Amino acid sequence: MIKDIQLRITLQEERESEHFLLNKASEFLATPESDITGIKILRKSIDARKSRIMFNYKVEVYINESLPENSTYDFDYKDVSNSKPIHIVGFGPAGMYAALRCIELGFKPIVFERGKNVQDRRRDLKAINQDHFVNEDSNYCFGEGGAGTYSDGKLYTRSLKRGDVRRIFENLVYHGATNQILVDSHPHIGTNKLPKVVQNIRETILNYGGEIHFETRVTDFSIKDNQIRAIQLHNGNEIPSSRVILATGHSARDIYYLLHKKNIALEAKSFAMGVRAEHPQHIIDSIQYHCSSERDELLPAAAYSLVQQVNERGVYSFCMCPGGFIVPAATANGEVVVNGMSPSKRNNEFANSGIVVEINAEKDLRKYEKHGVLKGLEFQKDLERLAFTSGGRTQVAPAQRLTDFVEGKISNSLNPTSYQPGLKSATLHSLLPKHIGGRLRTGFKAFGEKMRGYYTAEANIVGVESRTSSPVSIPRTDQLEHPEIKGFFPCGEGGGYAGGIISAAMDGERCAEAASIGL
């Protein structure tokens, strides 16, 4: 017999979780402990809303029945060396999972990735941080695994109706991720662990006959009679193709320019921009866990989620990284972009989060209407160039103490930071457009009311957080195909159809299934 039950355990009881889970399950089910042959944890979360912290468990209790030894998911990879090809542009989460699904369906994925493999990317990340030089094809956004590889690896998603979320989680475990991601309510892998998972996915694709071509940038598409015919590469080669999955991510601006130049339909899309707020982690811990001293060793670095409506626009936290660090996410020289990430242990002394404002593409970008569907992209670029200039024309980022930003003062000094290229005091309160800066200032005050201690001079804000999502979407039909071009499948974040690792991976699988029909 198997029973699904919910259990609540105190922090003290958590220290002996195995014993107390068994004891609590026995009490809940009125079943002798001797009859319980196993307990499988399905979900674990922490409730810290009150001073008494509780651990919530959803468990399967096995009564006089053995626990299953293996996952119920089976990944049926087969040799596709001589199978029909499906071409994939981009090797981030959408491209990786499109390729894996192609192999399961019996088709040969041929992937073109502009950046380098995960190991070689490290040198280019070092160059950004230490030398302030951006390799425009290999950086924190471009390269094997995409922007997700050197990130916190946050796997939380609300896209539960877009595909089998559990299947993606199980596949990540199959490729080396900790099985803790199957349990945690807000799972993450960590920037130190993700590269190995990504490498294992690559090896699976190659071992079963797929192809992955790194440092191979797509520069054009040949289209005839509204049908994709070939892919043109930066080295002059032309690859015949009747099925292309476009999974280039939210920062592949050259692809948007290319499609626009070829009069292929694009759409302006609403997005969000703002800054990254960085607090000492102990401040966030003390607020969230109601503690005056160091947090208990059983508690993870505390996170937060904040949202406030300000003048008909949402101001909200984005990509919150407890125990993490801020990184330079520019994809070209002459711009400054910041993002956040965390190692698997989330043991850095800082907490950071994007704090961003919704940008309505129809109402907020009237000065950019001359750029048509690319108006959001041009607005992004202008703000990133301004950040570059304000920071001193390097990857040093403009920054301000949080309270000074809200009060409109110059910061005479800045707090310590995790951002390796460094910070420069700047008047972000006047540099940001009013419809962003004004709303942020009001939002920060509201957040200080919601989280007592959040509004503090000990926090920095760092600019700019501009790559939350793509400001352009590429339309597609219900069959996931571009409405004007047969065999062309916009996919993932770059197409406007995902917002994170898991949703992008699910969209990659769906596009692989759609591309395989009739091939």
**pLDDT score, position 227:** 98
Say how far apart CA 297 and CA 168 lie, in whole Å. 30
CA distances from 35 to 2, 8, 16, 26 (A): 12, 21, 20, 9
Adjacent-strand bridge partners of 45? 56
Q: How far is CA 204 from the centre of its chain?
A: 23
Task: Read off the pLDDT of each residue in 150-178 and give the average, rounded to a whole number.
Answer: 84
What is the enclosing helix (H) or strand (E) of 176? none
Task: Read off the pLDDT of each residue in 486-504 and give the average, rounded to a whole number.
Answer: 95
Question: Domain spanning 2-63: which CATH class is it, in words?
Answer: alpha beta
* pLDDT higher than threshold 80 for residue 16: no
Tens digit of each residue's pLDDT (9 = 90 or more) over 315-327:
999 999 999 999 9
Min mean pLDDT across 47-51, 159-163, 186-190, 337-341 is at 159-163
421 near 396, Cβ under 8 Å? Answer: yes
Tens digit of each residue's pLDDT (9 = 90 or more) over 481-492:
999 999 999 999
* pLDDT higher than threshold 80 for residue 70: no
Min mean pLDDT across 20-34, 215-229, 409-423 is at 20-34
Closest CA to 485 of 249, 252, 202, 266: 266
191 near 343, Cβ under 8 Å? Answer: yes
Task: Verify cis geometry, omega within 30 degrees of 0, for the bond prior to 464.
Answer: yes
Is residue 18 very low, low, confident or very high in pLDDT (cuts 50, 70, 90)?
low
Neighbours of 275 (CB within 10 A): 31
Burial of 38 (0-12, 13-18, 19+ CB in 10 A): middle
Task: Give me the CATH code for the 85-265+475-516 domain, please.
Answer: 3.50.50.60
89 near 231, Cβ under 8 Å? Answer: yes
Tens digit of each residue's pLDDT (9 = 90 or more) over 212-237:
999 999 999 999 999 999 999 999 99
Q: Is 87 left (phi over 0), alpha (psi -120 to 50) or beta?
A: beta
Task: Read off the pLDDT of each residue in 175-197 and give the average, rounded to a whole number.
Answer: 92
- Residue the block writes with tokens 């520069």: 219
Residue limits of CATH 3.50.50.60 in the chain: 85-265+475-516
* pLDDT higher than threshold 70 for residue 152: no
Adjacent-strand bridge partners of 221? 231
Which contacts qualify for 217-223: CB closer than 8 Å, 24 or more apart? 217/112, 217/114, 217/137, 218/89, 218/112, 218/114, 218/255, 219/258, 220/258, 221/258, 221/262, 221/488, 223/262, 223/485, 223/488
DSSP per-residue codes, 12-37:
HHHTTHHHHHHHHHHHHHT--GGGEE
CA distances from 279 to 308, 322, 329, 349 (A): 19, 10, 20, 9
Percentage of the chain modeled with pLDDT above 90: 87
* pLDDT higher than threshold 80 for residue 340: yes
What are the backbone angles phi and psi of residue 116, rounded to the nearest 5°? Answer: -95, 170
User: How much is the pTM?
Assistant: 0.95
DSSP-derived pairing of the beta strands 85-89 and 244-246: parallel
**pLDDT score, position 235:** 96
User: Which two structure tokens, joined as six digits, stand for 383?
Assistant: 């703000």
Query: What secondary structure, in 3-state letters, does 234-251 show?
Result: CCCCEEECCCEEECCCCC
Residue limits of CATH 3.30.70.2700 in the chain: 2-63
Closest CA to 469 of 500, 439, 443, 490: 500
**pLDDT score, position 156:** 75
Say how far apart CA 55 and CA 14 lie, in whole Å. 7
Q: Is 496 left (phi over 0), alpha (psi -120 to 50) or beta?
A: left
User: How many Å is the Cα radius of gyration of the chain?
Assistant: 24
Average pLDDT score, the chain: 95
